[in-house]
Structure 1
Amino acid sequence: MKVFISDDQQEQRLWLTDIITAQLDDLNFNYELAPVWQPDDVLQAVKRTSGPNIYFLDIVLKAATNGIELATKIRDYDPDGFIVYVSVRDDMMAETLNAMTTPTGFISKMNLFNKEKFTPRVRAVLKVIKKRLLVLNDAPEPTLNLHSGALLLKLNLKDIVYCEKVHGLRTARIVTENQAYLVHKNLSTIKEQLHVSHFFNDFQSYALNLNKIVTVDFSKGWVTMTNGDRLDFSRGTIKKLRAYYQTQE
């Protein structure tokens, strides 16, 4: 888990960092403090993490992107992350809710630099996050559950590298790191259980676990996966994957 503190006023950011990290340590969070605070840098860092992370965001930033806009973009990559607004603009609390960024808390800067009054508010928000993390960690791993003849198949989605249609048959092949399963199911039926946030399902004959893609060669039309398999596609088909990645930039 990473903790981001985005505030364009250096004095305020450093003071907030001291208060927040002290409470994180006291509450025994396992975290890493992100070294970036600029909206663009934060977003690039979020793209490289799996989350959920914690974000303390000032609303009014001297940048092209304000805190609410940044939170909206963060939600595309970290839907379970914890967003906490820390701002002098108490009047914008309603706007943070209307933007549907699902904030965990809103801390006013009214008592900024007053450690005695400000620290309890930070601690209260972090205690809520701690409770929610316990619920997330206890949640069962999402699985693929299939009945195929006498076969009852249950696989954790994170263990699936890709699924492919077996041409000419109403059959699909499900591939993990060290095993492959042949099931008498349409690929479209299997895709219904594959979460769009983790799988690329736009190929007609394949579903790819995005976390298992190692390299993509768009000019030659092939994709290599973590289990060593190389999948070949036509240039017209591979354009769909290129288009997906372009939307994530």
Structure 2
Amino acid sequence: MIIYVIEDDNQQRKQIIHYLNECKKCFFDLELSKFSNHLTFMEEISKLTIKDNDVFFLDIDLKTTYTGIDLALEIRKYNTKCSIIFLTSLEDKAISVLNNNIFPLGYLIKNLENPSETKQIITEMIKKSQITSKNFWRFKQDKVEFSSGSETLFFNARDICYIHTLKKFHGRILIKTLNEETIIEAKIGKLKKQLQQEYMMTSLQSYILNLENIISIDRKNEHILFAGHQLLSIGAKSIDKVKKALRVYSDDR
């Protein structure tokens, strides 16, 4: 995920970048772009490889020959799914943006007087961007079937967040998807052999994790947030292994 911050006010830009750097603690693949000059960015867009999970923070009023809205329209020519977040001092700018069919992820009202609120909004917007990007990824079905006693259950593997053994219930496995949880009678070793998708992490002893559905990781509080607002509490050592697996998976794509 590459983050672009195009803002003509240097103080505002530095503040946003500061908050984004703090977000790296939770979003393992967050990378700030070196392209940031608002005076030349229009010419740079055609040279970029814009991915669906990239995020653009664009100041609407750049005080130059083009606006942030003009930049957004140009970006949309190359990618219709990336996230665009407008920076503005005026909330009424939203109407003209929607009329241009840009469909931004949201708006950040610039406010230097309340840094904690601004930081929280930026963090939530990055989470929302991750979720939106992963929703596009799940358009393609990846059907798997698991046996539970005499019953056969079908799942879209892309909807699975995580699977783990229930220690107090021998031979029982919990499957947590975006919208529900299911308990089946099975051995996790057998499920690991069935789930050979590159996005499935099967190296943990008692867990199977869908790397694509991970939104953020909080090592301090020892939990992982998945799409669908699913939260998994897991030890710090396991979290370190998950971070490593995410980096390898991201590099291989």
Normalised by the length of structure 2, the TM-score is 0.50
Match of 1:95 in 2: 96
Is residue 63 of structure 2 the alignment partner of residue 62 of structure 1?
yes
Deviates more, 1:118-127 or 1:43-52: 43-52
Matched residue pairs, number?
139
Q: Which has the higher contact order (CA 8 A, sep 6+)?
A: 2
In structure 2, distance between residues paired with 1:29 and 1:46:
27
SS at match of 2:84: strand
Match of 2:140 in 1: 140
Is residue 31 of structure 2 the alignment partner of residue 32 of structure 1?
yes
In structure 2, distance between residues paired with 1:28 and 1:79:
23
Q: Equivalent residues in 2 for 1:30-179 (5 A)?
A: 30-37=29-36, 38=38, 40-41=40-41, 44-45=44-45, 47-52=47-52, 53-109=54-110, 111-140=111-140
Is residue 36 of structure 2 the alignment partner of residue 2 of structure 1?
no
Q: CA deviation at 1:95?
A: 1.2
Q: Equivalent residues in 2 for 1:222-237 (5 A)?
A: none
Kept in 2: contact 1:4–1:54 (CA 8 A): yes
Deviations 1:83-136 (A, max 9, x none): 001111222111111111110001111x32522221121122112112122223
Q: CA deviation at 1:29?
A: 4.3
SS at match of 1:15: helix
Flag structure 2 segments of 5+ consecutive residues without an equivalent. Answer: 142-253
In structure 1, distance between residues paired with 2:39 and 2:81:
19
SS at match of 2:104: coil
Kept in 2: contact 1:6–1:39 (CA 8 A): no
In structure 2, distance between residues paired with 1:34 and 1:97:
26
Letter in 1 for 2:33: A
Deviations 1:18-55 (A, max 9, x none): 112322x1332413211222264255245331412200
Kept in 1: contact 2:59–2:86 (CA 8 A): yes
In structure 2, distance between residues paired with 1:15 and 1:113:
11
Please say which structure displays the higher CA radius of gyration: 1
Flag structure 1 segments of 5+ consecutive residues without an equivalent. Answer: 142-249
In structure 2, distance between residues paired with 1:10 and 1:35:
15
SS at match of 1:64: coil
Query: Relative to structure 1, is the Cα distance of residues 113 and 35 closer, same or farther in structure 2, using a 3 angstrom cutoff?
Result: farther
SS at match of 1:26: coil
Letter in 1 for 2:137: N
